[in-house]
Structure 1
Amino acid sequence: MNKNQNIAMGISLAVVAIMVGSAEIFGEKEIIFPEITAVAMGALIAPVQSWNTSRIRLFAAIVSAAVAGVCIVRFIPEILILRIALGLLVAVSVITLSKTSFVPAVSACILPILMGTKSPVYVISVAVMTAFILIFQKVLEYFGLHEKYEYRPIEPSSELLKLRAKQVITALVIFVLPAHFHEIFFIAPPLIVAFFELSGKGSKLMNRKYTAIALMAVAAFAGVMARFFISEKLGLTLTFGAVLSSAVIFVLCRKAKLYFPPCCAISTLPFIIPKTAIIKFPFEVTAGYIVLTIAAVIIAKIDNNTN
């Protein structure tokens, strides 16, 4: 398994290098889609695919969500909490209608909203980078280097719809203050994805929530350290820093035996934020995820008491 995972990690790091390198070459920051490292973790590196979805549905969900996010920025009034609310509703609808558990689609929709992205370049990058990952997944499966996942449609039952409503409402209540003060790292898209995964019915992540918090914090600090020391101080490329921080978190996830895709996205996010925000990023991310973890625990306890 380690040999197969090493191959998957190598492929994933190559995709990160292509993505960030392209952004540097063309001067288009919108090419950098941090969630692609999460998709790589869940689709390639994890022994079993992290989400109940097929390749086609995964691709359709993430691209649809990305398009929706850009459209919201273009056409909806510049009221951040309104845009976030609409983005969450659209993303959750996409996930539900696709009959999958592919919650990273939430990140694809919310990221352009938080960053104010209007460029179609972002959508193209999401589509191309996701396609790379899925093609490589197919290749690894063909050569017996990755276990094939058997997708089972998730029907939108009343129970699921109630859970999604609780998740969206809870998230929006938490997001009001960060959105008002525009402290967006408290509600960074990968944190939202992690919240949805953690508060899902029968979440295995709940049993390792403290490890998840630790990985999220380490990922945030690793990304910032790589950006600050390697790219800013040493003057090396963002590509080198992004690949290094991704490699660190890939290895840590494997060592912890917790294949936690959202923390991988967090490690890449520092490479698209302003220099002036680097210092506060890991602290706000960690604090935000702790709050969202507490909220997820409360949702889980309420559900357990009502069942």
Structure 2
Amino acid sequence: MSFQKRWLPILLAGIFVVAMVGASVLIGSPEVLFPEMTAILCGAWIQPKQAWNVNRPRMLALMTTGAVFGLVMNLAFPDIPLPVRAVIGYAFCALCMNIAGADMTPMLSAAILPMLLGTDSWIYPVAVFVLVVLVELGQVALERVGLRETIDYHPFRLPIEQALATWTRRLCVFALFAVPAYATGNVFLAVPPLLVAYTELTRPDFTLRLRPWRAWAVLAIAGIIGTLARDAVVNFGLPSPLVAAFAFVGLVLAWNGLRTWMPPAGAVVLLAFLVPWSNPWLYAVEVALGAAVWVCAALALFPGIRPAFADKDKGTAHNTPEEGTEV
């Protein structure tokens, strides 16, 4: 993807992120700061072709439903342990995406994030709804001026047996690695953006499976950027919107430098502004370790294209300009 040709959508996305952070600070509500919006902006504005097979009504419905579900689980079932609620949330999102015939994987973050943060305010799902609407309006404007392709959505549903088998495997692997992380308090090993990245990498034709080290690198670097940004706010007292602006620039440089515009990395950066903060480097270290686990699990435990295949067949259609998007 050409940075020069996409500078305006990138700039607009950066302004959106800074405005969201500023609004959160202005009204004193952390629920307004939804980290996954950075990922959605990458997939819906920055990349010329939308990163997910979903139309706008389904995107809004799935994201809002996920946010409401995560909040309701906190309010209605506070005594259910976090690991169990997270597994239920993952299964719920899988069911919703299959019913909708769409692959809006950021829904996983919308549902599981409030569980990790203990969100108990209805401001959260309202904010998710409003933010997604704003992104969709911006997407329409970008389409009309020719800065991105129109959405080519085709409902896709696997046969029931195949869908059940695929999502059961994803759910089991998720539980295998995420439950111990949550149960031991090491939640940064399985923060929602890593779960989104893992789920996307389990798709057999996901092009970034050919370059797993880049998938890990961009997520690990995003963790470092997020750590530096949060540390600047906590220890140096710099304004959050200003720090978010510099963090977004760092993120864009990482995306562009690695030629891997992977949307979940954006959410990794912004999530650092919300998570509990003790040891400043704990977030970066655990995100890097978690990313390695989730990337390796997706490649080792799920069939699909792999680096060895790329070596035998160089120059094929897998060499796409937008790694991190589906083909």
Alpha-carbon offset, residue 295 of structure 1: 1.1
Say whether residues 1:222 and 2:225 are aligned partners.
Answer: yes
Distance 1:291 1:275 in 2: 23
Mark the CA change 1:222 to 1:80 in structure 2 (over 3 Å): closer, same or farther.
same
Alignment partner for residue 299 of structure 1, among 301, 314, 322?
Answer: 301
CA RMSD of aligned residues (A): 1.7
- 2:206–2:305: 8 Å Cα contact kept in structure 1? no
Q: TM-score, normalised to structure 1's length?
A: 0.94
- 1:141–1:147: 8 Å Cα contact kept in structure 2? yes
Give 1:205-244 correspondences, 5 Å limit.
205-229=208-232, 231-244=233-246
Alignment partner for residue 200 of structure 1, among 190, 200, 203?
Answer: 203
- 1:4–1:146: 8 Å Cα contact kept in structure 2? no
Alignment partner for residue 167 of structure 1, among 165, 170, 180?
Answer: 170
Say whether residues 1:27 and 2:28 are aligned partners.
Answer: yes
- 1:20–1:32: 8 Å Cα contact kept in structure 2? yes
- 1:85–1:172: 8 Å Cα contact kept in structure 2? yes
- In the alignment, which residue of structure 2 is the partner of 1:286? 288
Displacement over 3 Å in runs of 4+? 1-4, 301-304
- In the alignment, which residue of structure 1 is the partner of 2:323? none
- In the alignment, which residue of structure 1 is the partner of 2:44? 43
Mark the CA change 1:303 to 1:169 in structure 2 (over 3 Å): closer, same or farther.
farther
Distance 1:127 1:280 in 2: 31
CA offsets, 1:129-166, max 9 Å, x none? 11111111100001111111200111132323311111
Give 1:48-197 correspondences, 5 Å limit.
48-76=49-77, 77-157=79-159, 158-197=161-200
Alignment partner for residue 272 of structure 1, among 266, 271, 274?
Answer: 274
- 1:62–1:104: 8 Å Cα contact kept in structure 2? yes
Distance 1:145 1:9 in 2: 11
Distance 1:4 1:126 in 2: 29
- In the alignment, which residue of structure 2 is the partner of 1:250? 252
Alpha-carbon offset, residue 177 of structure 1: 1.3
CA offsets, 1:279-305, max 9 Å, x none? 20010011111111121112224999x
Any stretches of 5+ residues in structure 1 without a counterpart? none
Counterpart AA for 1:171: F
- In the alignment, which residue of structure 2 is the partner of 1:15? 16
Q: TM-score, normalised to structure 2's length?
A: 0.88
Distance 2:46 2:220 in 1: 20
- Percentage identity across paired residues of the two chains: 27
- In the alignment, which residue of structure 1 is the partner of 2:318? none
CA offsets, 1:206-253, max 9 Å, x none? 112110101001101011112213x23432211111222122212321
Distance 2:225 2:262 in 1: 15
- Please, which moves more after superposition, 162-171 or 184-193? 162-171
**Paired positions, count:** 303
Q: Which has the higher helix share?
A: 1
Mark the CA change 1:47 to 1:302 in structure 2 (over 3 Å): closer, same or farther.
closer
Mark the CA change 1:294 to 1:217 in structure 2 (over 3 Å): closer, same or farther.
same
CA offsets, 1:67-120, max 9 Å, x none? 000001111224011111111111111111111111110010000011111111
Distance 1:160 1:244 in 2: 42
- Please, which moves more after superposition, 77-86 or 279-288? 77-86
Mark the CA change 1:14 to 1:183 in structure 2 (over 3 Å): closer, same or farther.
same
